[in-house]
């Protein structure tokens, strides 16, 4: 394959992946509970911040460039944050919310706890945006732009990101646990989860292929190297040398947080390698593109134009919160002002309670 052809192929793949991330936020399953009251993708715009924060993309890009130069893994962290945000009640920034006295957030979900990272980077970008244009850019938009820049900075092409989302007032631990795909689930279960979001097997192939960057934790691929798993196939690690290497990283007992590159060849480059050769038997992920495309009727999807090319305009098919249904979080970990400690400036040795009686506030 010539260089120009390879570049075009990567471009088509990344466009398909970007579309998948964008459309993953649509809550199309009938009866699915959600705090979202309105969906209007048409109101997203490339010019949404043109007057209120014209430098938004420059600010995000600058911070992402510094972060990825310092550690290329930051690209994968931001991309994963965006997907885990979108797959639970839409691209609304809810994955960023910390727990409060009245809400357990999505950070505690099985697929997020101890593995979802990048929150400090989001805080840093948000701080820069607030200095540039206070109270203007939503955390949901920040994530969408940063995820695009993450792909660009590790070798993927650029695509436009329509903006105008607002941030959710709620996060859902239950939906995060039930909706986010897990490494241990079988292929049919995963297809069903994507179907509930209005996504098909083609979308899933593209999304699995996005694991070309990033790392996997030992606890998520231990079953793959020590025994069968639900989605078992003959395409488990085929190289004895590579299998031994994985076992060194991931012992049978302990070492849950040890990591191995998802793509053992080009872990810091966003490319099509995972989709290109399903027979290579490399990479620690339990569900790999090879498993997907070898499953009955999905074989053709590996080279199909369906998975490699989608209309760029459909990137606008994303969820947007309107008016009172959403807000701008500042910082992104907190819902408006409601989680601020009242009297946070009172000395640490003062023990107090605030009571409201007959419209009067008094301190005890």
pLDDT at position 28 is: 28
Q: Is the dihedral of CA 81, 87, 93, 99 positive or negative?
A: negative
Q: Which helix (H) or strand (E) holds 260?
A: strand 259-261
pLDDT tops 50 at residue 267: yes
Locate the domains of the chain by residue range. 3-185+313-325, 202-310
* Numbered residues of the known binding site for heme b: 211
* Numbered residues of the known binding site: 85, 88, 90, 92, 94, 106, 181, 211-212, 263, 266, 271
Question: Which active-site residues does the annotation give?
Answer: 84
* Numbered residues of the known binding site for Ca(2+): 85, 88, 90, 92, 94, 106, 212, 263, 266, 271
| CB within 8 Å of 294: residues ≥ 6 apart | 233, 235, 278
The Cα–Cα gap between 74 and 147 comes to 10
Question: CB of 293 within 8 A of CB of 196?
Answer: no
The Cα–Cα gap between 103 and 330 comes to 18
The domain 202-310: what is its CATH number? 1.10.420.10
The length of the chain in residues reads 364
Domain 3-185+313-325 in this protein, CATH class: mainly alpha
Most confident of the following: 32-36, 81-85, 346-350: 81-85
* Numbered residues of the known binding site for substrate: 181
Most confident of the following: 21-25, 74-78, 213-217: 74-78
pLDDT at position 227 is: 67
| CB within 8 Å of 21: residues ≥ 6 apart | 82, 83, 86, 147, 207, 210
- pLDDT tens digit string along 57-110? 999 999 999 999 998 888 888 888 888 898 888 888 999 999 988 899 999 998
The Cα–Cα gap between 195 and 290 comes to 20
| Pairwise pLDDT comparison (1 vs 137), residue with the higher score | 137
Q: Identical fold at 3-185+313-325 and 202-310?
A: no
């Amino acid at each position: 394959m010539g260089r120009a052809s390879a570049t075009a192929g990567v471009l088509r793949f990344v466009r398909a992946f970007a579309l998948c991330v964008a459309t993953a936020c649509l809550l199309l399953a009938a009866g699915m509970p959600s705090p979202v009251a309105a969906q209007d993708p048409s109101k997203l715009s490339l010019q949404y911040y043109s007057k209120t924060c014209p430098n938004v993309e420059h600010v995000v890009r600058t911070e992402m460039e510094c972060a990825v130069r310092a550690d290329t893994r930051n690209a994968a962290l931001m991309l994963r944050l965006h997907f885990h945000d979108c797959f639970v009640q839409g691209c609304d920034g809810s994955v960023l919310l910390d727990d409060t006295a009245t809400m357990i957030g999505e950070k505690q979900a099985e697929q997020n706890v101890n593995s979802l990272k990048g929150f400090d980077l989001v805080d840093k970008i948000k701080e820069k945006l607030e200095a540039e244009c206070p109270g203007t850019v939503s955390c949901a938009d920040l994530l969408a732009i940063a995820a695009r820049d993450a792909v660009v900075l590790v070798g993927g092409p650029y695509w436009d990101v329509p903006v105008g989302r607002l941030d959710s007032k709620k996060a859902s631990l239950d939906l995060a646990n039930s909706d986010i795909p897990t490494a241990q689930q079988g292929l049919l279960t995963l297809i069903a989860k994507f179907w509930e979001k209005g996504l098909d097997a083609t979308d899933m192939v593209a999304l699995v292929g996005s694991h070309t960057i990033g790392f996997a934790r030992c606890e998520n691929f231990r079953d793959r190297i020590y025994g069968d798993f639900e989605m078992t196939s003959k395409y488990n690690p085929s190289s004895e040398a590579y299998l031994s290497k994985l076992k060194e990283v991931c012992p049978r007992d302990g070492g849950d947080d040890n990591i191995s590159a998802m793509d053992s060849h080009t872990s810091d480059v966003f490319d099509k390698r995972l989709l290109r050769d399903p027979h290579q038997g490399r990479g620690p992920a339990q569900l790999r593109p090879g498993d997907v495309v070898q499953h009955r009727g999905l074989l053709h999807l590996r080279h199909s134009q369906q998975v490699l090319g989608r209309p760029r305009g459909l990137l606008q098919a994303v969820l947007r919160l309107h008016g009172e249904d959403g807000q701008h979080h500042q910082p992104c970990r907190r819902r408006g002002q409601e989680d601020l400690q009242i009297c946070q400036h009172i000395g640490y040795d003062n023990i107090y309670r605030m009571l409201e009686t007959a419209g009067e506030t008094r301190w005890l």
